[in-house]
Every structure is written in structure tokens, then in C-alpha cells.
């Protein structure tokens, strides 16, 4: 983890979370064309509510002590695989749906669901489970499943820790709002709710929106229930927020900005700008700045990220100065206060290394010591536009240190160079040891997979290097990856594991294509193995396919 002394924002303690539960009651109803489609029950919260006033939500509320009481549990039917915690959550959701909407998820001894007469006999304002037992009803907790789990954003003054549960709406029952906490119960298709929200007529909060976005992919209530039958939530999230063009922008763990927000604002401060620009360096920590080159494109995403590691007391190491763009290099030099001690190129590709020599010259012209250009020389297999010769070649695991005196004593920033061939034969990554940050160059990207283009690229080397990086991250507690393109990635080891799994899954598709079309061309195999990739990207995909084919054939005849 980064040193607390390097964090940009003062430490603060997010508000303590409160336990709650909510339930999505589902049914299938005819759509505009008469075809049955999924609907979910929603209600509008009171305009005077302390949390999300006026928002359309799913029924639910706080978990109280009685929901977890063994006597309450005894009033419910439960699945053998349903834990005590999930049973407590289901009991809270069943109780809240009754208190707020008069919906009763309960059964008679003969298996019949509760009806209007049963609902009328139970007082919404008296202990719920005991009344059901007194009327011979068993609470149908076994029909309530865990869909997702949300923990409210760290910036909010009132935060809930909430399982989102799902259940079929009992047939023959009609929701009737309590007109105190909830109003206007409405059945709505998830996509319709999203469109109404976008039009400004159906206000919803972030977790509700994201839940409906995922729910809209299901065709029926049965399909939703089938997806959660294994007792595992489909997602777990505690979102983070930054600023996009001056407005709050919230993001879940699987979205590109999440890791960067975790690094820069670990306690949930909403201050970090997320829009891409090339005008000024963006501070990520006190000792790490990112300046994105103005070279966006299909291969470079928002542009090539140049990084500065260091601070005024130590001077700076520039990582990947990028293309030979005079304005970009001037901004990079100025962001370092002109005090660049070393220039490191992760590899020789034309969007990474050509700026090294002019940046070095800029330092010399300003009367500074000549910073050495470090990296690995391009291999004979490199393309003509990727020729690179450093002033000195880095050794594998070599340490590059910056030291200086600060108010609290000696300051050190140490980068360890790791040879990671695969994307390019001379590729290397850099690990900032004191803060557990991995500068990954093009080996690991955020939002896409890197192209492996033989002969300079090699898939076997690439996968082996991923394993080496994973081991280093484990050894040094590295949690964040700073790629040459895209936002910072969090949960470094998980990101590496997912990337390797993706590559191996793609390789399995390539093997299947080769077996199905033994006399096929590369174009045939790409069309077979990359059906999930837009056809316009197939020429690029073909490069990586060749790398997979080389690895498959090197492993022996059983793979092709």
C-alpha cells in the first residue's frame, strides 16, 4: 500500500455502515407487444425521508434485533444452503415488504401462499413474525435469494450495508403503500424505469440504477432466480466517486476509474478529476504524477501516460516520455521543476521511447545534469519504427533510487526494473517498492488487452511475465498497477489473474478454431475465435492470434 505520507488528502474515517435489507419482488407481465417480460415492484420514498427522499426504490429497511432472533428464524422455512445471516436478511426483507406495501411472503401448512384475508388479519405496526405464527403461517424465507450486495459510498454521511434480495411476487396479492415511508407502488420493466429516470420523471439513486441495468438483461423472473440459485451474489460493490467535468461520477469495481479513485482518494473524498486531458500533470500521490500525451487513438486509448516519480527534495524519474512531442515534453519537464534525474522507457514502441532523447536534451539546455536514458535496447525482431538504444541497459531487478532530505528526515523512492518480454522483447515494468505501485507499460492495460505481435511479441513470454509480476506483487504487497494507457488499476493480483484467465480462454478458442478448420487461414481462425470482438478490430486481433498459434504449436501436437 502507498505510504500515508504520500497520500494527497488527509485521512478521514467514513461513516459507520448500518445494516439493512431490500427485496426486488418480480413478476412476468405482458409487454406492449403482448409478450411476457420481466417486471419489478418499486415505490416512491417519502419526500421527508432522511435518506434518498423522493427516490423510487425497492421495498426494504433496517435489520432489527428480532430479524436475527432464533424464535423469528423458527417461524420461517429455509433452504439447507441458506446461512443464518442470509436468513436474517430475508426475514428483514419479508417484514419490510409487509410493513411498507402489505405484501406477505408466507405460506399456509398446505403450501398455499397467504392471501388477502391473511394480510388483513395482521397488523403492520405489531411484531410481525409472532403474528404470522399465531395465524398458522410460515414465512417463505426459502423463496428469497441473494441477488447482490451493496455498501454505500464512503463519501455519504449516512451509509447502509445492504443485500439486494429477489423473490417472486405472490400471486393474488396487491401492493398497498403505507403512505408514510412509501408511496405509489408501481410495476415497471427495468429498462422502462431507466428510460424514465433519464427523462427526469423517475428519480433513482445510484445502486438502484446499476441494479436495474443488470436486471434488464434478464428475460423473466425465473431467469433471475435461476441465476442466483447457488447462494452467491451476482455482484458485490462499494462504489467510489470522482469528478467528471465538475460533476460527481460514481463507479463500481468493474469500471475503469475505480482503481484510480481507490489510490488517490481511499477514504471516499470526491475531489479527483477523471476526464482525460493533456494540458497538465495529474497528481496521483505526492510522489507520483501522470501526464498523458496528446496521442489518443485505437492503439493508445486516451493517449500514452508519462509518469514522474519523485518530489522536489529528491528530483524525479520520468517513465515513458512518449512520442517526440515538444509541447508534451516541455510540460513533463516543467511538472518536474526541471529536475529529472533519470529517464526510463518501458519499451521501444514509437508512442513510448522517441521522447527520451529530446527530453534529455531539454534538461541539458536548461543547465541541468544530463539524465541517463535507461531501458533495454530493442531486439533485432523489433519493427523499424521501434529502434531504441538506451544510454545504459537495465539489469533485471536492478534498483533505481532517488534520495533527499525532507522535513521529517531522509526520503527515498526506489524503482525496481523487471524484464517482462511478451508485448515487446525489450519490455520492462517498474515496481515502486516503498509504495507498492507497479508501472506496467503496455504489459497490462486498463480497459483492453495488449497486442502481442510476433516476432518481437511472444505469447509464452508474456504469460510467464504475468506470473513473475504476480509473484512480485505478492512479495511486496503491491495493490495498484499504473499502466501506460488508461486509469490506475486496483487489486493488482486479481487484475493479473483475470488477464491471464482471459488470455487462456482466448487461446482455448483459437485451439477450437484450429481444430474445427484445420485447413483454415488466419482470417478464418480470427473470425472463429474472436466472435466477441468487432470485425473492424480483427486485423489487430490477428497479430495476437499468431502469437497464440505459435505458443500452441510449441506446446506439442496435442494442442493443434
Percent above pLDDT 90 for the chain: 92
Distance CA 334, CA 328 (A): 10
pLDDT, averaged across the chain:
95
> What is the rounded average pLDDT of the residues 125-150?
95
Give the pLDDT confidence score for residue 31 in this predicted structure.
82
Return the SS3 of 227.
Answer: helix
479-536 pLDDT per residue, tens: 999 999 999 999 999 999 999 999 999 999 999 999 999 999 999 999 999 999 999 9
**Cell numbers given for 519:** 485447413
281-297 pLDDT per residue, tens: 999 999 999 999 999 99
Choose among 420, 416, 418: nearest CA to 399: 416
> What is the rounded average pLDDT of the residues 459-467?
98
Task: Judge contact between 447 and 258, C-beta under 8 A.
Answer: no
> What is the rounded average pLDDT of the residues 98-110?
95
Give the pLDDT confidence score for residue 310 in this predicted structure.
97
* CATH annotation of 17-238: 3.90.79.10
pTM: 0.92
Give the pLDDT confidence score for residue 558 in this predicted structure.
60
Pick the CATH number of 280-490 from 3.40.1280.10, 3.40.50.1820, 3.60.15.10, 3.30.465.10: 3.60.15.10
Instruction: Match 483475470 to its residue by C-alpha cell.
Output: 498
554: exposed, middle or buried (Cβ count in 10 Å: 0-12, 13-18, 19+): exposed
Band (pLDDT 50/70/90 cuts) for residue 559 is low
Percent above pLDDT 70 for the chain: 99
Task: Judge contact between 350 and 320, C-beta under 8 A.
Answer: no
504-517 pLDDT per residue, tens: 999 999 999 999 99
Give the pLDDT confidence score for residue 125 in this predicted structure.
87
> What is the rounded average pLDDT of the residues 140-165?
96
Q: Looking at the predicted structure, is the pLDDT value of residue 54 above 60? A: yes
Give the pLDDT confidence score for residue 435 in this predicted structure.
97
Give the pLDDT confidence score for residue 40 in this predicted structure.
98
Choose among 383, 356, 508: nearest CA to 451: 383
Q: Which residues pair with 183 in a beta bridge?
A: 44
**SS percent in the chain: helix, strand, coil, step 5:** 30, 25, 45
Distance CA 47, CA 61 (A): 16
398-456 pLDDT per residue, tens: 999 999 997 778 999 999 999 999 999 999 999 999 999 999 999 999 988 999 999 99
Q: Which residues pair with 560 in a beta bridge?
A: none
Task: Judge contact between 87 and 138, C-beta under 8 A.
Answer: no
Give the pLDDT confidence score for residue 560 in this predicted structure.
54
177-221 pLDDT per residue, tens: 988 888 899 999 999 999 999 999 999 999 999 999 999 999 999
Q: Looking at the predicted structure, is the pLDDT value of residue 549 above 70? A: yes
Q: Which residues pair with 412 in a beta bridge?
A: 403
Distance CA 414, CA 439 (A): 12
Give the pLDDT confidence score for residue 178 in this predicted structure.
86
Q: Looking at the predicted structure, is the pLDDT value of residue 86 above 90? A: yes
Backbone angles phi, psi at 392, to 5 degrees: -150, 135
Give CA angle at 267 (266, 271), nearest 5°.
80
48-52, 158-162, 171-175, 420-424: least confidently modelled range: 48-52
Task: Judge contact between 40 and 191, C-beta under 8 A.
Answer: no
117-121, 181-185, 369-373: least confidently modelled range: 181-185
Helix (H) / strand (E) element for 262: namely: helix 258-264
Amino acid at each position: 500500500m502507498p505510504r500515508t505520507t504520500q497520500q494527497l488528502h488527509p485521512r478521514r474515517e467514513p461513516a459507520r455502515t448500518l445494516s439493512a435489507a431490500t427485496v426486488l419482488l418480480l413478476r412476468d407481465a405482458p409487454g406492449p407487444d403482448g409478450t411476457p417480460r420481466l417486471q419489478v415492484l418499486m415505490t416512491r420514498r417519502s419526500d421527508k425521508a432522511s435518506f434518498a427522499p423522493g427516490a423510487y426504490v425497492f421495498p426494504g429497511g433496517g435489520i432489527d434485533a428480532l430479524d436475527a432472533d432464533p424464535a423469528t428464524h423458527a417461524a420461517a422455512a429455509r433452504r439447507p444452503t441458506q446461512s443464518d445471516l442470509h436468513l436474517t436478511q430475508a426475514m428483514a426483507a419479508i417484514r419490510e415488504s409487509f410493513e411498507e406495501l402489505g405484501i406477505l411472503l408466507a405460506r399456509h401448512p398446505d403450501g398455499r401462499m397467504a392471501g388477502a384475508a391473511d394480510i388483513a388479519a395482521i397488523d403492520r405496526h405489531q411484531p410481525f413474525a409472532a403474528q404470522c405464527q399465531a395465524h398458522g403461517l410460515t414465512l417463505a424465507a426459502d423463496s428469497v435469494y441473494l441477488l447482490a450486495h451493496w455498501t454505500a459510498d464512503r463519501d455519504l454521511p449516512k451509509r447502509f450495508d445492504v443485500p439486494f434480495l429477489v423473490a417472486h411476487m405472490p400471486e393474488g396479492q396487491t401492493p398497498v403503500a403505507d403512505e408514510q415511508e412509501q408511496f405509489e407502488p408501481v410495476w415497471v420493466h427495468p429498462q422502462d424505469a431507466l428510460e424514465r429516470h433519464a427523462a427526469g420523471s423517475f428519480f433513482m439513486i445510484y445502486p438502484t440504477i446499476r441494479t436495474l441495468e443488470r436486471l434488464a438483461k434478464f428475460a423473466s423472473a425465473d431467469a433471475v432466480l435461476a441465476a442466483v440459485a447457488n447462494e452467491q451474489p451476482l455482484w458485490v460493490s462499494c462504489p467510489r466517486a470522482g469528478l467528471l467535468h465538475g460533476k460527481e461520477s460514481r463507479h463500481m469495481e468493474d469500471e475503469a476509474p475505480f482503481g484510480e479513485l481507490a489510490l488517490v482518494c481511499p477514504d471516499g473524498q470526491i475531489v479527483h478529476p477523471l476526464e482525460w486531458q493533456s494540458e497538465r500533470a495529474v497528481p496521483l500521490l505526492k510522489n507520483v504524477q501522470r501526464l498523458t500525451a496528446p496521442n489518443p487513438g485505437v492503439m493508445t486509448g486516451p493517449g500514452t501516460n508519462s509518469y514522474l516519480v519523485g518530489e522536489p527534495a529528491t528530483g524525479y524519474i520520468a517513465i515513458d516520455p512518449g512520442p517526440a512531442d515538444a509541447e508534451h515534453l516541455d510540460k513533463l519537464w516543467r511538472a518536474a521543476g526541471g529536475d529529472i534525474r533519470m529517464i526510463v522507457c518501458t519499451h521501444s514502441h514509437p508512442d513510448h521511447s522517441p521522447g527520451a532523447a529530446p527530453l534529455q536534451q531539454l534538461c541539458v539546455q536548461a543547465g541541468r545534469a544530463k539524465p541517463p536514458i535507461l531501458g533495454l535496447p530493442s531486439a533485432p525482431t523489433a519493427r523499424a519504427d521501434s529502434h531504441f538504444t538506451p544510454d545504459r541497459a537495465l539489469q533485471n531487478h536492478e534498483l533505481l533510487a532517488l534520495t533527499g532530505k525532507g522535513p521529517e528526515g531522509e526520503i527515498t523512492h526506489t524503482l525496481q526494473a523487471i524484464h517482462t518480454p511478451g508485448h515487446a522483447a525489450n519490455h520492462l515494468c517498474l515496481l515502486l517498492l516503498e509504495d507498492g505501485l507497479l508501472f506496467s507499460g503496455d504489459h497490462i492495460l486498463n480497459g483492453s488487452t495488449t497486442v502481442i505481435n510476433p516476432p518481437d511479441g511472444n505469447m509464452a513470454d508474456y504469460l510467464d511475465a504475468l506470473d513473475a509480476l504476480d509473484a512480485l506483487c505478492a512479495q511486496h504487497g503491491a495493490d495498484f498497477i499504473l499502466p501506460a494507457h488508461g486509469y490506475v488499476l486496483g487489486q493488482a493480483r486479481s487484475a493479473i489473474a483475470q488477464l491471464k484467465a482471459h488470455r487462456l480462454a482466448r487461446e482455448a478458442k483459437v485451439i477450437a478454431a484450429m481444430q474445427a478448420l484445420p485447413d483454415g487461414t488466419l482470417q478464418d481462425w480470427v473470425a472463429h475465435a474472436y466472435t466477441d470482438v468487432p470485425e473492424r478490430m480483427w486485423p489487430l486481433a490477428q497479430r495476437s492470434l499468431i502469437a497464440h498459434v505459435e505458443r500452441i504449436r510449441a506446446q506439442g501436437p496435442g494442442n493443434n
